[in-house]
Amino acid sequence: MKATITLLPGDGIGPEIVREATLVLSEVASKFGHEFQFCEKLVGGCAIDETGSALPEESLTTCRESDAILLGAVGGPKWDDPNATVRPEQGLLALRKELDLFANLRPVTIHPALAEASPLKAERLAGVDILIVRELTSGIYFGSPRFREKTSEGLRAVDTLEYTDAEIRRVVRVAFQVAGDRSKRVTSVDKANVLDSSRLWREVANEVATEFPEIALDHQLVDSAAMRLITQAASFDVIVTGNMFGDILSDEASVLSGSLGLLPSASLGEGSLGLFEPIHGSAPDIAGKGIANPLATILSGAMLLRHSLGLEQEACAIEAAVHQAVTDGARTSDLGGSLSTQAMTQKVLALLSR
Ligand code: IPM
Ligand code: MG
């Protein structure tokens, strides 16, 4: 097949890891007889430096016209001035919102060979296979009003947590749909003992559950869900939750896998166009050193093939190659090893081309 893929390397280690993932996608193309056209555009801090905007119109248009988007990471200390009017993260948020990519899938799997890389005891990791479905285009990230003001008592800042039933329904449906191919359990995570938006969330989740009688739904408050992720992670299958709870729980869950550098994500909407990115950030402390772990981005490339291009076999080939590389002992520094970003990719490429 022919496909156009927009590359948004972004900031920090973004360009290094996107470059490596592109090599892997190119290898897949030549091995399976596809033609992928890559088109690189600006997002985040580098886009601010060059155009003044974190998501230039041209980048957005190119994304809309492509079949899939692969993003590295955005942000860094250079753009962290609290008084700045534009921030790199706004580029990512605008992209998600503009393309209506409301369902963020974040799989958390444990590689047996990496059990020692996790701070948790091996017995707590046995059987862990979680898919977090995070709502991505609403909630406290986007609610209005949001502002900062001076009052007679000092400064006051406001963010708004809002959800409509339609926003909840569509993302909870995605969770039930994906649960159908897994162990058929969905845990909806909220804070319904305190928040009105969470009480609506719970109500709508219960309604959606009636459409999927073969799937079991349970509800859990976010604070105890955070604890259960550490104490009994294997008891979760699919977790569906709002934007900010999902952001926090997915970083927490990544600790189970041994490194944030391993976890990919897919952001999907109603159509096939999706945005694929590692869940880790731009890691400015190691940017340019050539030591970042490229696996989360390479695995995001696999999700891209599966979800946007419908290339399941090709996606599995990448996942199998990554699995084998890790089994064979390939380790970047985040995993306690000394392989460079490029050397890690070469291991994956060698296994892929076999
Ligand atoms: C993530 C990141 C982003 C988020 C930031 C960079 C805006 O933490 O994708 O998890 O909070 O969504
Ligand atoms: Mg995050």
What domains appear along the chain, each with residue ranges and CATH number? 1-108+269-354 (3.40.718.10), 119-257 (3.40.718.10)
- Assess whether pLDDT exceeds 90 at residue 101: yes
Question: What is the spatial distance between Cα 297 and Cα 24, in angstroms, rounded to a whole number?
Answer: 10
pLDDT at 41: 98
Q: How many residues does the chain have?
A: 354
Provide the pLDDT confidence category of residue 24 given band limits of 50, 70 and 90.
very high
Tell me the longest C-alpha to C-alpha distance in the chain.
70
Query: Is the minimum distance from the CB of 89 to ligand 1 under 6 angstroms?
Result: yes
List the beta bridge partners of residue 41: none
Q: How does residue 117 score in pLDDT terms, banded at 50, 70 and 90? A: confident
pLDDT at 292: 98
Rounded distance from Cα 259 to ligand 1 centre (Å): 17
What DSSP designation does 147 have? Answer: E
pLDDT, mean over the chain? 97
Residue 70: per-residue pLDDT? 98
User: What tens digit of pLDDT does each residue of 261-280 get?
Assistant: 999 999 999 999 999 999 99
Q: Does the pLDDT of residue 260 top 90, yes or no?
A: no
Q: Which ligand is nearest to the CA of 282?
A: 1
Residue nearest to atom 9 of ligand 1 (CA): 279
- Pocket probe mutation, ligand 1, options 69, 92, 96, max atoms within 8 Å of Cβ: 92
* 116 has a pLDDT exceeding 90: no
Distance CA 29, CA 52 (A): 35
Which amino acid is present at 220? Answer: Q
Annotated catalytic residue within 11, 67, 141, 334 = 141
Separation CA 280–CA 250 (nearest Å): 10
Q: Say yes or no to pLDDT of 230 above 90.
A: yes
Ligand 1 center–CA 93 separation, angstroms? 8
Atom of ligand 1 nearest to the CA of 89: 7
Q: What is the mean pLDDT of residues 331-354?
A: 96
User: Residue 247: pLDDT band by 50, 70, 90 thresholds?
Assistant: very high
Residue 259: the pLDDT is: 87
pLDDT value at 354 more than 90: no
Of the residues 223, 285, 289, 328, which is catalytic?
223
Cα–ligand 1 centroid distance for 214 (angstroms): 33
| Residue type for position 20 | E
Is there a contact between 265 and 276 (Cβ–Cβ < 8 Å)? yes
Whether the pTM exceeds 0.85: the reply is yes
Ligand 1 within 6 A of CB of 247: yes
Ligand 1 atom nearest residue 136's Cα: 12
Ligand 1 mutation pick, 95, 159, 247, max ligand atoms within 8 A of CB: 247
DSSP string spanning 307-336? Answer: HTS--HHHHHHHHHHHHHHHHTT--BGGGT
Confidence of residue 258 (pLDDT cuts 50, 70, 90): confident
Q: Is 71 in the pocket of ligand 1 (CB under 6 A)?
A: no
Q: Which two tokens stand for residue 149?
A: 């003001």
Helix axis angle for 88-98 and 57-65, nearest 10°, is 40
Distance CA 105, CA 265 (A): 6
Going by C-alpha positions, the residue among 238, 308, 319, 302 that lies closest to residue 268 is: 308
Residue partners of 301: CB distance under 8 A and separation at least 6: 21, 22, 24, 25, 28, 70, 276, 318
| Residue 260 CA, ligand 1 centroid: distance in Å | 13
> Cβ(279) to ligand 1 under 6 A?
yes
Query: Do 238 and 98 form a contact (C-beta atoms < 8 A)?
Result: no
Average pLDDT over residues 230-255: 96
| Close Cβ partners of 326 (under 8 Å, ≥ 6 residues apart) | 111, 113, 114, 295
